[in-house]
Every structure is written in C-alpha cells, then in structure tokens.
C-alpha cells in the first residue's frame, strides 16, 4: 500500500508485513493526473497514479531496486511531458539538451534514480569546529584538483579527489578547518550558455536540490561524495555546501519546464506580470508557500543526515526571507530552521542580499546566522589601494563591523570576512588588474562587477618586472594579514593559496577550463606566498583567537583597546580625518597578553612611536618582507611604505616568550 509521505522515491525492504519495493510520492496540485514512468534502457513501463492525499500523488511498486530510473508524466497543453522528481536523490546522467526545450526532449533528458541511503561512515565523527576557530576555504570541486599532477588516488576534478592524500595534506598544512564547496547539487545550464556550447561552471542553476551533480563522479556520485566527506572528516576538516534555494534552473516566464512550473505554479513569487525576478535568473522561489518551504527544509535535512554536511552557505539569501517586495527577519524559513533539531548544530552562512527591492540586508539576519561581509571586502581593498577617507571605516571593519554585528552576539553572529570570493577577482588578479577582462564570457565585457577596487601596481596583467612583482606580493600580504587579524571568520579563496590568476576575468561562471582550474605549477614566488600563508594562519590561531574570545559575549568587556597616531598620541576625533597611519593596541584583561597592529597606507616609510608599555614587543609579522623572523622592538618601529606590522607581548600572568 502506498503512502503520501515521505515525498520522493523511498525503498522499502521486505518483511513479514510489507513487500519489497519502492514508494513514489510527488506533490502536484496543478496536475489532475500523473503517471509514473519506469525506465529500463530503451524500454519503459507506465503506471497511472490513482492515490491522492492533500495534493500528493503516490503509488507503491514492488520489486524495485537501487538504480531504477524514473520520472512522472503529465499532459500539459495537449503534450505529454516527462517531469523530473523535485525530490530526486540522484540523476541518471549530467543533464543536457539543445535549446529550445520541448515535451519531446523531456523524454530524453536526465532521469531521477532510486537510491539507497545505506553507507558505511565507519564511525568517523563530524569535526564540529567552533565558529571563532573556523577558517573557511572556498573551492570548486572540479577546478581545485583538475590540473593537480600530484593527485594519485582518484580522477582529478572529482569528488574523490577532494580527499586525495595530497589535498588532505595541503589543507592541514595550510591550517584550513572547513572547505566550502561551490554548488554540487545537479545543475542545468542556462539556455543562452547552451546555445554557445557553454556551461554554468559555478553551478548556480539548480535542477534538483538533493542530487549531487554527476559531472564530478566517475561511477556513482552519491557514494563518491559521501566517501570524500567521510575522509575529510576523518582528518578534522568540515564540509560546507554552497546551496541555491533562491531560484531554480527553470528560469523566467519563457524558460524550460523541468518540474516545479508544471507541478505547482505557487512555488515561485509572482505578480500581475508573471514571475518576479529578484535573483537575476528569471524566477524567485517563494518560501512563504508551504510546499516551497517543505522542499527546501527537506533538502537541508537530507544533506545533513545522509551526507553529514557541516554547514551551508546560502546564495542570495535575502530571497529566502522575502514576503513579496519586503524582507522579513521573522520569515517562515528562518523560524523553520531555528526550531529544527537537525539543522541547529550546522553552520549557516548567508549571502545577505539579492537584487530586488529591500534586497540589501547585511546585519539583519537572525541569530544563528553568520553573514558574508562585503563591507569588509570593499573597505580593506580601498584602504590598501591607497584611497583616502577610509581610515575610520577600516578601523570599524577590522574590529568586526560591530555596528552590524554586536560583540554581545558573538560568536554566533561573527561576520564572515573576505578579500576574494568566487565571484570577482582572485587575490592575484586584485593586485594585477585595474579593469575586468571578461571577453571570454561572450558578453562583450559587459558582465561582472565594475567596482573591483583593484590596483595593478603599475602594469596591467602579467609581467616580469621584478619591482612590480615585489609590490604585488606585498599588497597580497597586506590584504591577507588584515583578513586574518581582524575580528570575524576568515574566508579564503582556494585559488589564492597558489596565487592563481584568471587573467583578469572577474565573472568566470562559464569558464570550465584553465581560466578557472587552479594552476599548480608553482614558481619560487608562489611557493613562498603559499608557505607564508600557512604560517600566518597558524599565527592567527596562536595570537588572535584569545582576543576574539575576550571581545565576545558576556565577557566582551574584559579587555583593553586603544588607537594611536604614528607620533604615539592617542587618536582623537579629528585625527580620523587626515591620518595616513594607524595603530591598534589590544590587551587581555588588566595585564594580560597584548597585540599591536600598525598600518601604513602610503608608499613613504613612517617612524611609528610605540605605546609606552614595557617590556619589549616581539614581532609576529611585517608585510614588507616575506620573512616572519621574530624581532625584539622597543619604543619605535620603522614602518615601511604600504605595509603593516603585528607586534605581540606576553602579559604578567604568562611566559614572556614566543
């Protein structure tokens, strides 16, 4: 006997009371009748679904095994369409069609596949890294390892390659706690890309929320992804998924019909003109509609329970809190997540905006959500480019943007700070290009962000000029050191570890090639930066984390903080308007450990008088040099042009050594 819940295809093992088979259930209020279609090669069987409950069509078929391909057929405007199950746990092949999509082509499209949830996790626990200790490493599943010649245990560019010993070693050496994968739910490329024989490389065009994309598997995407996650967990590395619940691959009013459009028109936000487009992708999912909310919540729980996913980064998350034209901090979705015992322990990271009205919501997501802090990105880039008027804003960003994210709500509201993300310049391109170079995308360089706040350091693009290269490396150190020694959760782009360049392309969403694939050919300069980065991450963990704790929650007042001018005087209100250098003095308790961060924004050296707090300061880092050798410092420090220095001293209650 069939049941309406759970939705999707769910196997049932035989026992004395129940036969072996599979229960199929699909929510389809807009379909008066549906047929279940089972495929076996070129052969197919059809079953009329007669059982209905609360708009759910359901049927039980005996003797169904893992690997069975299926779909649902519905007559739409006199044509029989094959619809993909929105609750598909796997698909038969990477989806593809030649535009335009049609009823006939739907029968040759990818099919849903019945799966078995059984997997041997071997008792490996999830790492459960505290937020304050988290170092996020954003990567593309394929692009991260596709060109790495050292991969030996798996196909480069695959799920399994993520957990190849070479990659595990790299992540651990770099001090990474959590990898954030660009979307891996099965993606369908937009029609304009298909017409160009292109692809949505980043994966931000979801076809089925619960099915891993077969593009990154050799045989079985489900098993191979779970295996990679298990091995990453075994080595203490979390896995965060970038998820796209703000829109689907069905696009706008004239877009293809894959499933939701035919099953229930209320899945999407609409107005008198049709589908609302708050995402720039043609449609916007309406999470005030119960079926939409159920689909998203069921998908999130599935990834956590069946794949042991540690967290999610939500693309254009403002859409998830929309009630029409307005964003609602008390939206049904946020309440649903907050009360869910499966999702409560996970990391939840919001991209806190979309392109619709009331779309920019930085700082307004509920407790339990961390947010991508684009204010940090823009301010830090502008400051180190040498733009005037950013000193006060710069100070605010390195202190955790507390006007958006109060320290009393840390660590659960620590901002996710970043310099580079997948959408935009890599770190290397940020210091190598003044302008975007997106011609390869086929849109006449009109696509991509125009406000990059980049600086080519004197020459546009690649160069052999030793002085320019040295300046670029110093700028990279300035940007990353600021990121690691600011209050927040650091987000690092995987490409930046190997100083990868995209040739100035700041919107490589369609570049499934060497533009996006990380270049693992390392010269001495790249190797030095990679080694320096790992040491700086270790320095953050050793020296910065105690200060984040001291500025957090109820104990956040158990610290000292002072701002200094280069002459040693305390910063006054008028100083914030014209100073070109800045000193930040942090202390724990009344006489505990201290940090001193000093910044020089201009190209001329500055003699910086240090605070009169004996004993001797010890140097952690000077970005004017790749070397991290310690140095004892007394009352002055000669700060090189366009550089920053971090000094440390141990307090009275601790050993005065490094």
User: 307-333 pLDDT, tens per residue?
Assistant: 999 999 999 999 999 999 999 999 999
- The confidence band for 614, taking pLDDT boundaries of 50, 70 and 90, is low
- The confidence band for 626, taking pLDDT boundaries of 50, 70 and 90, is confident
Alpha carbon 424 to its chain centroid, in Å, reads 13
| 147 lies in some domain | yes
Same domain, yes or no, for 98 and 139? Answer: no
Q: Which two tokens stand for residue 559?
A: 């610290």
Same domain, yes or no, for 457 and 384? Answer: yes
Q: What is the mean pLDDT of the chain?
A: 95
Task: Give the mean model confidence (pLDDT) for residues 68-78.
Answer: 97
Same domain, yes or no, for 96 and 161? Answer: no
Three-state secondary structure of 181-227: ECCCECECCCHHHHHCCCCCCCCCCECCCCCECHHHCCCCHHHHHHH
**Set 164, 250, 264, 315: catalytic member:** 315
- Asked if 315 is an active-site residue, the reply is yes
8 Å CB contact between 169 and 244? no
Amino acid 635: pLDDT: 85
| 16 lies in some domain | yes
Amino acid 656: pLDDT: 38
Same domain, yes or no, for 136 and 109? Answer: no
Residue 339 has pLDDT above 60, yes or no: yes
| Residue 442 burial class via C-beta count within 10 angstroms: exposed 0-12, middle 13-18, buried 19 and up | middle
Q: What CATH number does the domain containing 467 carry?
A: 3.20.20.80
Please tell me the distance from the alpha carbon of residue 321 to that of residue 318, in angstroms, as a whole number: 5
| Closest C-alpha among 612, 319, 603, 630 to residue 470 | 603
- Helix runs in 273-368, H state only: 290-307, 332-338
Alpha carbon 74 to its chain centroid, in Å, reads 37
Domain count across the chain:
3
Same domain, yes or no, for 595 and 504? Answer: no
Please tell me the distance from the alpha carbon of residue 474 to that of residue 427, in angstroms, as a whole number: 12
Amino acid 655: pLDDT: 41
pLDDT > 70 fraction of the chain, expressed in percent and rounded:
98
8 Å CB contact between 483 and 380? yes
**Range list of β-strands (E), 244-289:** 270-271, 274-275
- The confidence band for 16, taking pLDDT boundaries of 50, 70 and 90, is low
| 537 lies in some domain | no
Same domain, yes or no, for 98 and 142? Answer: no
Where does a domain end: 80, 113, 146? 113
8 Å CB contact between 645 and 590? no
> What are 350's strand-pairing partners?
314, 371
Q: Report the DSSP pairing between strands 370-373 and 416-418.
A: parallel
Same domain, yes or no, for 502 and 593? Answer: no
Amino acid 191: pLDDT: 96
Q: Which two tokens stand for residue 138?
A: 């954003």
| 564 lies in some domain | yes
User: 362-385 pLDDT, tens per residue?
Assistant: 999 999 999 999 999 999 999 999
Amino acid 613: pLDDT: 67
Residue 654 has pLDDT above 70, yes or no: no
8 Å CB contact between 113 and 69? yes
Enclosing H/E stretch for 395:
helix 391-398
- Alpha-carbon dihedral of residues 369, 370, 372, 374, nearest 10 degrees? 100
| 137 lies in some domain | yes
SS3 277: coil
- Helix runs in 399-520, H state only: 427-430, 466-484, 494-497
- The confidence band for 615, taking pLDDT boundaries of 50, 70 and 90, is low
Same domain, yes or no, for 216 and 272? Answer: yes
User: 381-438 pLDDT, tens per residue?
Assistant: 999 999 999 999 999 999 999 999 998 899 999 999 999 999 999 999 999 999 999 9
Same domain, yes or no, for 237 and 204? Answer: yes
- Asked if 351 is an active-site residue, the reply is yes
- Higher pLDDT: 359 or 628? It is 359
| 657 lies in some domain | no
Where does a domain end: 60, 81, 113? 113
Residue 139 has pLDDT above 90, yes or no: yes
Residue 491 has pLDDT above 70, yes or no: yes
DSSP 514: T
Same domain, yes or no, for 478 and 571? Answer: no
| 604 lies in some domain | yes
Same domain, yes or no, for 253 and 149? Answer: yes
Residue 17 has pLDDT above 70, yes or no: no
Same domain, yes or no, for 466 and 579? Answer: no
Q: What CATH number does the domain containing 99 carry?
A: 2.60.40.10
Please tell me the distance from the alpha carbon of residue 237 to that of residue 260, in angstroms, as a whole number: 35
User: 27-66 pLDDT, tens per residue?
Assistant: 999 999 999 999 998 899 999 999 999 999 999 999 999 9
Domain containing 107 equals 8-113
Q: What CATH number does the domain containing 619 carry?
A: 2.60.40.1180
**Set 351, 473, 594, 622: catalytic member:** 351
* Dihedrals phi, psi of 101, to nearest 5 degrees: -75, 150
Instruction: Give the list of residues 6+ apart from residue 268 with CB closer than 8 angstroms, or none.
Output: 260, 261, 275, 276, 283, 284, 285, 286
| 3 lies in some domain | no
Residue 201's CB is within 10 A of a number of other CB atoms, namely: 24
What predicted TM-score, i.e. pTM, was given to this entire model? Answer: 0.96
């Amino acid at each position: 006997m069939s049941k309406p819940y759970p939705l999707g295809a769910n196997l049932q093992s035989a026992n004395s009371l129940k036969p072996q088979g599979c229960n199929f259930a699909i929510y389809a209020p807009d379909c008066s009748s549906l047929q279940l279609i089972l495929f076996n090669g070129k052969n197919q069987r059809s079953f009329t679904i007669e059982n209905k409950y609360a708009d759910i069509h359901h049927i039980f078929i005996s003797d169904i095994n893992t690997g069975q391909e299926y779909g649902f057929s519905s007559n739409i405007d006199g044509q029989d369409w094959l619809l993909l199950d929105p609750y598909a746990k796997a698909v038969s092949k990477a989806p593809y069609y030649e535009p335009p999509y049609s009823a006939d082509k739907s029968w040759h499209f990818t099919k849903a596949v019945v799966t078995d949830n059984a997997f041997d996790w071997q008792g490996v626990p999830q790492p459960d890294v505290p937020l304050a200790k988290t170092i996020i490493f954003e990567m593309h599943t394929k692009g991260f390892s596709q060109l790495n010649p050292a991969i030996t245990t798996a196909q480069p560019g695959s799920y399994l390659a993520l957990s190849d010993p070479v990659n595990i070693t790299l992540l651990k050496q770099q001090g990474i706690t959590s990898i954030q994968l660009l979307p891996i739910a099965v993606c369908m490329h937009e029609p304009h890309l298909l017409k160009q024989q292109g692809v949505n490389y980043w994966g931000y065009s979801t076809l089925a929320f619960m099915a891993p994309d077969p593009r990154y598997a050799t045989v079985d995407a489900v098993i191979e992804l779970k295996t990679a996650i298990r091995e990453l967990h075994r080595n203490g590395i979390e896995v965060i998924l970038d998820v796209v619940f703000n829109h689907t691959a069905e696009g706008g009013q004239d877009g293809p019909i894959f499933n939701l459009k035919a099953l229930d028109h209320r899945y999407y936000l609409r107005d008198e003109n049709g589908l609302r487009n708050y995402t720039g992708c043609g449609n916007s999912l309406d999470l005030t509609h119960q079926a939409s909310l159920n689909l998203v919540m069921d998908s999130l729980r599935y990834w956590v329970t069946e794949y042991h996913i540690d967290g999610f980064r939500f693309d254009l998350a403002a859409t998830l809190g929309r009630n029409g034209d307005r964003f609602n901090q008390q939206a049904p979705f946020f309440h649903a997540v907050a009360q869910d015992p499966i999702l409560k322990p996970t990391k939840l990271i919001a991209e806190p905006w979309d392109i619709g009205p009331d779309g920019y919501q930085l700082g307004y997501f509920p407790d339990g959500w961390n947010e991508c802090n684009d204010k940090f990105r823009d301010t830090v880039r502008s400051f180190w480019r040498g733009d005037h008027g950013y000193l006060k804003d710069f100070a605010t960003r390195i202190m955790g943007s507390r006007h958006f994210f109060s320290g009393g709500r840390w660590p659960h509201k620590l901002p996710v700070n970043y310099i580079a993300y997948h959408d935009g310049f890599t770190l290397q391109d940020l210091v190598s290009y003044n302008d975007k170079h997106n011609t390869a995308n086929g849109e006449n360089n009109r696509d991509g962000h125009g406000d990059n706040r980049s600086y080519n350091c004197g020459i546009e693009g690649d160069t052999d000029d030793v002085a320019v290269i040295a300046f670029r490396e110093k700028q990279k150190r300035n940007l990353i050191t600021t990121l690691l020694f600011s209050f927040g959760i650091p987000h690092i782009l995987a490409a930046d570890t190997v100083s990868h360049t995209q040739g100035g392309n700041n919107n490589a969403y369609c570049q499934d090639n060497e533009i996006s694939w990380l270049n693992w050919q390392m010269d001495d300069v790249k190797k030095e930066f990679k080694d320096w980065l790992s040491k700086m991450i270790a320095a953050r963990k050793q020296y910065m984390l105690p200060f984040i704790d001291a500025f957090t929650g109820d104990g956040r007042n158990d610290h000292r903080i002072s701002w200094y001018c280069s002459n040693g005087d305390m910063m006054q209100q008028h100083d914030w308007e014209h100073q070109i250098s800045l000193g930040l003095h942090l202390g724990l308790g009344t006489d505990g450990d201290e940090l001193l961060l000093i910044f020089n924004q201009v190209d001329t050296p500055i003699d910086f008088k240090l605070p009169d707090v004996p004993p001797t300061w010890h140097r952690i880092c000077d970005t004017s040099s790749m070397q991290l050798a310690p140095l004892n410092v007394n009352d002055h420090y000669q700060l090189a042009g366009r550089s920053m220095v971090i000094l440390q001293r141990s307090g009275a209650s601790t050993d005065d050594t490094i």
